[in-house]
Amino acid sequence: VAQASRPYHHGNLRSALLAQAERVVREHGADELSLRELARQVGVSHSAPRRHFADRQALRGALAEAGFERLGTELQAAAGGAEDSVAARLLATARAYVRFATRDAALLELMFASKHETESAALDAAAERAFWVILELIQRGQASGMLAAGEPERVGLLLFSTVHGIAALYTSGMLPPEQLDQLVVDAVEHFVRGQRAADGRPPAPGC
C-alpha cells in the first residue's frame, strides 16, 4: 500500500497515534497521555482518534497489547540464545524482563494496570504469550531432569511472580538500580536450587 501522495489526510492514523502514544508514555509517563494532545501532535482534529479508539481506555489497552507483544518477543529471543543450560536460559530471560522494565518502566506499569477494563481477548493472548516463554523453559528443564517434576504452570507462576515483583519494585522506585541485577541473579539461582531440592531424590549424587 504505497502512500506517495498522502491518500487522504494521514494514511494510517491508528499506528501513528500508537507510536506517538508510546513515545509520550516513555518520556512523560502514562498519566500524561491525552487523546487531544496526541491528535494535535499527529496533526489531526481532536475527534479523529475516535474512529480508531473508542475512548481513552481503548488506546491504553492497545498500548498494553503492543507492549506485551514486544515483551514476548524479547523474552523469546533471550530464552533461545546461545546459552547451553536451562538455568542460564532462565537467567537470560529474567534479565530480559527486567531490562524491559528499566527501558520502559511506565509502559510496563500501564500493561499491568489496564486490568480487565475492556476484557480484551487480544490483550490476554499477548500477555499469555509472554508467560509461555517461561513456561516452555521450565518444561524443558523438567524434561531434562534438571528441574523437579511438577505442574509447569504452578512452578512457572512462582518464577514469573518473583521476576515481575522485582520489575514492579524497580519501576516503583523502591529498588536502587545497583541492586537490580544482583537480585535477578539471586532470584534465578534460588529458584533453580529450590526446584532441584524439591525432588525426592538427594540433591547431589554423592550425598
Partner DNA sequence: ACCTGAACACCGTTCAAGT
Residue 194 as a binder of a second copy (CB under 8 A): the answer is yes
Q: Which is nearer to a second copy, 13 or 175 (CB)?
A: 175
For cell 499527529, name the residue.
42
Q: Which is nearer to DNA, 45 or 144 (CB)?
A: 45
Residue 187 as a binder of a second copy (CB under 8 A): the answer is yes
Burial 112-128 (b: 16+ CB within 10 A, else e): bebeeebebeebeebbe
Residue 172 as a binder of a second copy (CB under 8 A): the answer is yes
Residue 162 as a binder of a second copy (CB under 8 A): the answer is yes
Residue 103 as a binder of a second copy (CB under 8 A): the answer is no
Residue 77 as a binder of a second copy (CB under 8 A): the answer is no
Q: Which is nearer to a second copy, 44 or 169 (CB)?
A: 169
Of residues 54-113, which lie at the interface with DNA (CB under 7 A)?
55-57
Q: Which stretch binds a second copy (CB under 8 A): 17-25, 73-81, 85-93, 175-183?
A: 175-183
- Considering CB distances under 5 to 8 angstroms, the limit depending on partner class, which of DNA, a second copy, none binds residue 90? none
The HSE-up count of residue 39 (CA atoms within 13 Å, CB side) is 15
The residue ranges that bind a second copy (CB under 8 A) are 109, 112-113, 115-116, 127, 154-155, 157-158, 160-166, 168-169, 171-175, 179, 182-183, 186-187, 190-191, 193-195, 197-198, 202-203, 207
